């Protein structure tokens, strides 16, 4: 008598659905992710379907063993999937960086009556500002406050903001002459290392051998793209003599950030050379805005933490698809981002060149030397794709505008054998202290400082 094979039939239906789902991803995806990522799972799924099909033909005793084996395997995979994050954090000895982790730490510190804030940056609250129908847009963090930054190593990084919410000592704002002004995103800001190991800290230490009175101001702000960086420069470099501007371009997201920024009405106004919000005289207003934004963000965080049917379903669906295991599998075997590049608007390069030209004109009028540092991303070396993030197009724009280019891809990374060693735990993230030090050494060699 033929054995009832309902178990195999159920598996076959399920994995057939998965097969068509993956196929649709390959056919209709806009290649934000590589087809290779989906093709490997399509192959695995096809093998599973073949094994299930074969199970219809085996004997009753072997079919019993087949069921026991597959049930054990599926249960084991789900146990690994569900416990993966906790095990990973335990083995690493630290809580991996993520927004929720920082927000939980922030709430704990508030309970202990500590005066702290989260790292806030303009890119985070563009939509919030629009929702408030507010023509006012802060461009920095909350001033004079201990700030929780990030965690990509074994320690949570935090720092004290200056009088305008940047990562400096307040004394720098009393200086009338600045040797080096730093502009950029999170890499310039200092994520995720202590201040003595970030770019500014390294430049101060190494540069002191050339000029003992070297003055460096850091206006780097996490999550900023070229238009926000232009706005920050115009607002906070006024009323002092700047000798060198070192502008850091990060290939991983600067163009996509610019796509979002250029559509914001508040930021568009900075394309006008004469526009300013006079933010140096409105810091109390900025702080109030940022504290209100932070409150709304924390309220939203607490709402999401509440256990609801939707949250239970979302978590169930997340693990049902083996999301953690698939992402780790793709990371290990380098499937996910190969041949991928950020999806840009048609006018992205035109807008980037426009910002470059405005910056160049502003600096020329102020007699400030312009140095642009090109920072490569982790995935350039993880994938080996030299055209990732539109490298050639961006470099051509910089060279055509005769800007002093310091290309860290060519000056540093291609000259070392193990590029991934300059990223924390060889994973995606910001540079290690050693990486920041090497970058700072190259910058000092490439720009002219007055010896004193």
Instruction: In whole angstroms, give the CA distance from residue 142 to residue 160.
Output: 10
Maximum C-alpha span of the chain: 96
- In this prediction, residue 3 carries a pLDDT of 57
At residue 84, does pLDDT exceed 70?
Answer: no
Sign of CA dihedral 416, 421, 426, 429: negative
At residue 276, does pLDDT exceed 80?
Answer: yes
CATH 3.40.50.1110 in the chain, residues?
101-304+336-446
The side-by-side arrangement of strands in the sheet containing 157-160 is: 116-118, 146-150, 157-160
Compute CA 17 distance to the chain's CA centroid, rounded to the nearest angstrom.
34
Instruction: Name which of 122-136, 264-278, 366-380, 429-443 the model is least confident about.
Output: 122-136
Contact between 335 and 36 (Cβ < 8 Å): yes
- In this prediction, residue 86 carries a pLDDT of 55
pLDDT one-digit tens code per residue, 188-220: 999 999 999 999 999 999 998 888 899 999 999
Residues in the chain: 452
Give alpha helix (H) positions in 186-282: 186-189, 199-207, 226-236, 254-261, 265-268
Compute CA 31 distance to the chain's CA centroid, rounded to the nearest angstrom.
20
Superfamily name with CATH number, domain 101-304+336-446 = SGNH hydrolase (3.40.50.1110)
- In this prediction, residue 326 carries a pLDDT of 75
- Of 315 and 139, more confident: 139
pLDDT one-digit tens code per residue, 339-360: 455 578 789 999 999 999 999 9
Task: State the average pLDDT for the chain.
Answer: 87
Contact between 329 and 377 (Cβ < 8 Å): no
**Among 393, 328, 433, which residue's Cα sits nearest to residue 96?**
328
Which residue's entry shows tokens 């406050």? Answer: 145
Cα within 13 Å of Cα(197), Cβ side: 11
pTM beyond 0.85: the answer is no
């Amino acid at each position: 008598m033929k054995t009832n094979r309902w178990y195999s039939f159920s598996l076959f239906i399920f994995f057939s659905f998965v097969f068509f789902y993956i196929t649709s991803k390959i056919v209709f995806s806009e290649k934000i992710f590589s087809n290779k990522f989906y093709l490997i799972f399509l192959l695995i799924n096809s093998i599973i379907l073949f094994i299930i099909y074969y199970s219809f033909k085996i004997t009753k005793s072997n079919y019993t063993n087949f069921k026991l084996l597959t049930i054990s395997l599926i249960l084991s995979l789900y146990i690994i999937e569900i416990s993966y994050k906790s095990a990973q954090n335990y083995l690493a000895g630290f809580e991996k960086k993520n927004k929720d982790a920082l927000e939980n730490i922030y709430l704990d510190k508030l309970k202990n009556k500590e005066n702290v804030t989260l790292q806030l940056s303009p890119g985070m609250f563009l939509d919030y500002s629009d929702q408030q129908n507010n023509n006012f847009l802060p461009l920095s963090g909350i001033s004079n406050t201990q700030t929780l930054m990030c965690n990509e190593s074994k320690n949570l990084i935090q720092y004290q903001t200056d009088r305008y919410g940047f990562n400096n000592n307040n004394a720098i704002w009393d200086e009338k002459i600045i040797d080096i002004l730093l502009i950029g995103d999170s890499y310039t800001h200092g994520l995720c290392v202590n201040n003595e190991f970030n770019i500014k800290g390294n430049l101060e230490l190494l540069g002191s051998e050339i000029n003992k009175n070297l003055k460096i101001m850091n206006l780097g702000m996490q999550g900023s793209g070229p238009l926000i960086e232009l706005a920050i420069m115009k607002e906070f470099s006024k009323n002092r003599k700047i000798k060198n501007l070192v502008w850091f371009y990060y290939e991983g997201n600067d163009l996509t950030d610019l796509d979002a920024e250029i559509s914001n009405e508040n930021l568009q106004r900075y394309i006008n050379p004469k526009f300013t919000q006079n933010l140096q005289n409105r810091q109390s207003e900025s702080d109030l805005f940022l504290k209100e934004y932070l409150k709304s963000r924390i309220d939203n965080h607490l709402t999401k933490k509440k256990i609801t049917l939707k949250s239970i379903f979302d978590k169930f669906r997340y693990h049902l698809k083996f999301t953690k295991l698939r992402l780790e599998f793709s990371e290990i075997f380098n499937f996910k981002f190969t041949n991928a590049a950020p999806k840009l608007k048609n006018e992205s390069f035109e807008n980037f060149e426009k910002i470059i030209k405005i910056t160049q004109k502003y600096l020329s009028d102020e007699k400030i030397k312009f140095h642009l540092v090109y920072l490569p991303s982790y995935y350039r070396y993880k994938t080996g794709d030299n055209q990732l993030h539109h490298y050639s197009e961006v470099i051509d724009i910089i060279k055509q505008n005769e800007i002093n280019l310091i290309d860290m891809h060519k000056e540093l990374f291609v000259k070392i054998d193990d590029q991934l060693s300059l990223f924390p735990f060889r994973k995606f993230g910001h540079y290690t202290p050693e990486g920041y030090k090497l970058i700072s050494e190259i910058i000092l060699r490439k720009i002219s400082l007055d010896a004193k």
